[in-house]
């Protein structure tokens, strides 16, 4: 059961996070954005977000094997160079207590423009906030349909 419905009790704050998410949807490749969101959500254990972003990827036409492989992206050949750089950066920023490895940062900086990299950092930060909202409030995905 959900502990707290933040959008109800703090609508302005919730709207601000949603507005940032809207900016990202307009400025980051949709497939790349959902890959990043899925990976961060897996790392953070947010079932609601894992369900949502895996479904979003499927609806965008991403191969189901690629969606299943996001958690082991380094072990497959399913991901393009930019996707690999974004996923590596997602892991580093999600586990920020260790900082961001210079090699990972340089790889991302070699693939993305400064604007793209800025948007990617914002995207990773935003999904980490959504994950913290989902996990702390026990937000759960909708039940499977029969």
82, 83, 84, 104, 129 from 116: Cα distances, Å: 11, 13, 15, 15, 20
As a whole number of angstroms, the distance between CA 80 and CA 77 comes to: 8
pTM equals 0.95
- Give 38-51 pLDDT, tens digit per residue: 999 999 999 999 99
User: Hey, which CATH number is domain 14-136, 1.20.1290.10, 3.40.1400.10, 1.10.3720.10, 3.40.50.2300?
Assistant: 1.20.1290.10
Other beta carbons within 10 Å of 124: 22
Q: Say if residues 37 and 123 touch (Cβ distance below 8 Å).
A: yes
| Nearest to 56, CA basis, from 89, 8, 21 | 21
Query: Where would I find the beta strands (DSSP E) of the chain?
Result: none
pLDDT digits (tens, 9 = 90+) for 93-124: 999 998 999 999 999 999 999 999 999 999 99
């Amino acid at each position: 059961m959900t502990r707290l419905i933040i959008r109800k009790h703090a609508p302005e704050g919730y709207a601000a996070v949603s507005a940032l998410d809207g900016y990202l949807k307009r400025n980051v490749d949709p497939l790349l954005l959902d890959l990043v969101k899925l990976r961060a959500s897996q790392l953070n254990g947010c079932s609601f977000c894992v369900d949502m972003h895996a479904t979003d990827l499927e609806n965008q036409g991403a191969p189901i094997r690629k969606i299943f492989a996001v958690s082991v992206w380094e072990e497959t050949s399913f991901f393009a160079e930019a996707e690999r750089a974004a996923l590596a950066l997602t892991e580093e920023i999600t586990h920020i207590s260790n900082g961001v490895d210079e090699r990972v940062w340089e790889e991302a900086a070699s693939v993305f423009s400064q604007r793209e990299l800025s948007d990617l950092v914002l995207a990773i930060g935003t999904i980490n906030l959504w994950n913290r909202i989902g996990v702390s409030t026990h937000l759960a995905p909708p039940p499977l349909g029969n």
